[in-house]
């Protein structure tokens, strides 16, 4: 029996990047951690550029999705 998990999903383009990155996780913190790693690695952002404001923007664009 396949068990469906209610996962959270965030797409980078939701906050204005022309980018196909999608973060998936069970909690907002997991998504934020993935986004921070992605932003520093792929968008050349510095950790200090990931502000509370940007995190808030990310959180408001996290959607629930069924896998």
Q: Are 21 and 38 spatial neighbours (Cβ–Cβ below 8 Å)?
A: yes
DSSP assignments along 36-47, one per residue:
HHHHHHHS---G
Min dist. Cβ of residue 11 to Zn ion (A): 9
* CB closer to Zn ion, 21 vs 59: 21
Question: Angle at CA 62, nearest 5°, toward 61 and 67?
Answer: 140
**Closer residue to Zn ion in complex, CB, 5/16:** 16
The correct pick among 10, 12, 32, 35 for binding Zn ion (CB under 5 A) is 12
- Which residues are 10's β-sheet partners? 23
21 binds Zn ion (CB under 5 A): yes
In the complex, which residues of this chain contact Zn ion (CB under 5 A)? 12, 17, 19, 21
């Amino acid at each position: 029996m396949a068990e469906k998990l209610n996962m959270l999903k965030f797409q980078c383009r939701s906050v204005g990047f022309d980018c196909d990155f999608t973060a998936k996780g069970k909690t907002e913190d997991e998504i934020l951690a993935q986004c921070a790693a992605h932003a520093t690695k792929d968008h050349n952002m510095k950790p200090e550029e990931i502000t509370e404001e940007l995190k808030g923007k990310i959180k408001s664009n996290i959607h629930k999705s069924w896998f």
